[in-house]
Amino acid sequence: MNRWLLLAACAAVRAWTWLYTLPLDSTAKRRRDEIDSDLWEYRNDRSRHHTSAANAVHLLSGAVLAIPDDLLWACEQMPNHLRLPRVSAILRFAIAAVAASTLVVSASGPTLDVVSVLEVNVASAGWIPVAGSGTESTLAPAFAFTLTNTGDRPTSALQVNAVFYRRNAKRDGFGAAFSPVVGWRGLIPGATSDRVVLRGQRWHIADDGSTTAYAPFARLSVDELRVRVFVQHEGRWTLLGDFPIPAEAIHA
């Protein structure tokens, strides 16, 4: 019986995928193939120790929470001839309605403290060259990392937002960056996400003729630059960590 519940949940996810990709062209088949592949991996993932019924509930709840992201993705992929005001208004209303429903779904079950179970693995932090010429260099602060679920429960979809700032300064921020980390499948216990690279605002530095590779940082005075990383889980944003951005060149 439990096995049939999981198969029914997979069928529901496929039906929803078919529905929101219906107005699309060639991207629809690619999206459906990706979801089919994810569902096959989900069903055959031997690292999951929960029952089929629990996996079915997790699969459906994750899919429901990801509906706003699915609709936004469909809007971005929609062909130009379908971008009519009426279609746009309908989709905006649907996104708002589903976003409200996800809050109800997320509030109905026990809350997972993602800050206590997500481990931030810093891959690199520093400044990357964006562009350059004979008269100036353009750099941007960057923070690269992965997330590992150290808990005993899977997460839902995860998104991160980074705010680059200078310590003890009320102005001269270095921008913000947003990125999804994992989709509706979530991050299972013990799993590590793909590498995420977040970049801040570009900074232009005039060339003084120095041949030293790290000369721009002396003029930049960003030894106190840091980045706050926030994570969104089940509709809630939480501070995940505050990390330094060293005044050194990296290749993110």
pLDDT (0 to 100) of residue 144: 96
Q: Does domain 114-244 have CATH number 3.40.50?
A: no
| Cα-based torsion angle of the residue sequence 181, 230, 145, 60 in order, rounded to the nearest 10 degrees | -20
User: Would you kindly state where each structural domain of the chain is located, as residue ranges?
Assistant: 2-108, 114-244
List per-block mean pLDDT (blocks of 10 residues) for the chain, which spans 252 residues: 74 83 74 79 62 70 75 67 49 55 50 89 91 69 95 90 81 80 86 93 65 48 79 89 90 72
Phi and psi (nearest 5°) for 45? -80, 105
Q: Residue 91: which of 19, 35, 10, 32 has the closest Cα?
A: 19
pLDDT (0 to 100) of residue 135: 56
Provide the whole-model pTM.
0.56
